[in-house]
Amino acid sequence: MFKPTPNPPKAPAPPHNPSTMFLIAPDINTETLLAHACESLASASIMASDLAGFLQSPHRNALLGIAQIIMLGELAVNRALDNLDPQD
């Protein structure tokens, strides 16, 4: 027999509490956070590019693609920094 209404949802899942093992201080300003993110992305980009030199295709191509995504993230963070504090 066809049931016209779905079953009621089961008990709601408990809220996700992220780990506080690595916690960024809440009073750090946006410019500082973006500057550190930019430096981290730049380091990750260099590490991925260097590691790609030791690999053969297709793993090399995959890692170079990851490096490109990291670089795009770095560009976005740099633009956000420029928007916060234009040098003009």
Peptide bond into 58 cis (omega under 30): yes
Name which of 8-17, 54-63, 75-84 the model is least confident about: 8-17
The DSSP annotation for 22-67 comes to: S---TT--HHHHHHHHHHHHHHHHHHHHHHHTT--TTHHHHHHHHH
Condensed to tens digits (0 to 9), the pLDDT of residues 12-56 reads 778 888 788 888 888 899 889 999 999 999 999 999 999 998 989
Boundaries of every domain in the chain = 30-84
Q: How confident is the model at residue 76 (pLDDT cuts 50, 70, 90)?
A: very high
